[in-house]
Amino acid sequence: MKKAIFILSVLAGLCVTILAGQNIELSFTGDNNGQPVLLDSVLVKNINQGAEVMLYPPDLSLVLIITGINDKIEETNTKFRLSQNYPNPFQNKTSVQLHVPGTNLVKFVVSNLLGQNLLTSSKVIDAGIHTFLFTPGRETCYFLTASCEGQTNTIKMLCNPVGEGKSISLSHNEKMDYKPIMKSLEMLGELPFELGDELLMCAWSEMGESGMTKSPEMSQEYVMQFATNVLCPGLDSLFYGDQWYHTIQVGGQCWIKENMNVGEMINGNQTQTNNGTIEKYCYANSTILCDERGGFYKWNELMQYETEKRARGICPEGWHIPTDEEFKVLEGMVDSNYPIGHTEWNQQNWRGFDAANNLKSTSGWANNGNGIDQYGFCLLTTGYWWEGGFFDLTQGTTLYTSTQFNNSPWYRGFNAMTDEILRNQGTWNSATAVRCIKD
Q: Going by C-beta distance under 8 Å and a sequence separation of 6 or more, which residues neighbour residue 437?
A: 253, 254, 255, 256, 319, 320, 321, 322, 326
Rounded Cα–Cα distance for residues 209 and 89 (Å): 8
Partners of residue 212 on adjacent β-strands? 201
Smallest CA-to-CA distance from 203 within 331, 39, 422 is with 39
Query: Which ranges in the chain are annotated with CATH 2.60.40.1930?
Result: 81-176
Rounded Cα–Cα distance for residues 439 and 437 (Å): 7
Rounded Cα–Cα distance for residues 315 and 322 (Å): 10
Q: Going by C-beta distance under 8 Å and a sequence separation of 6 or more, which residues neighbour residue 219?
A: 24, 25, 26
So what's the pLDDT on residue 310? 93
Residue type, 205: S
Rounded Cα–Cα distance for residues 42 and 52 (Å): 11
Rounded Cα–Cα distance for residues 24 and 3 (Å): 34
Residue 413 and residue 398 in contact, taking contact as beta carbons nearer than 8 Å? yes
So what's the pLDDT on residue 163? 67
- What percent of the chain is modeled with pLDDT above 70? 88
What's the rounded mean pLDDT across residues 250-263?
A: 97
DSSP 197: -
Domain 81-176: give its CATH architecture.
Answer: Sandwich (2.60)
User: What DSSP element (H or E) covers 359?
Assistant: helix 355-359
pLDDT band, very low/low/confident/very high, at 39 (cuts 50, 70, 90)? very high
So what's the pLDDT on residue 311? 96
Residue 438 and residue 254 in contact, taking contact as beta carbons nearer than 8 Å? yes
What's the rounded mean pLDDT across residues 37-52?
A: 90
Residue type, 184: S
Residue 359 and residue 414 in contact, taking contact as beta carbons nearer than 8 Å? yes
pLDDT digits (tens, 9 = 90+) for 342-398: 999 999 999 999 999 999 999 999 999 999 999 999 999 999 999 999 999 999 999
> Rounded to the nearest 5°, which phi and psi values hold at 59?
-100, 90
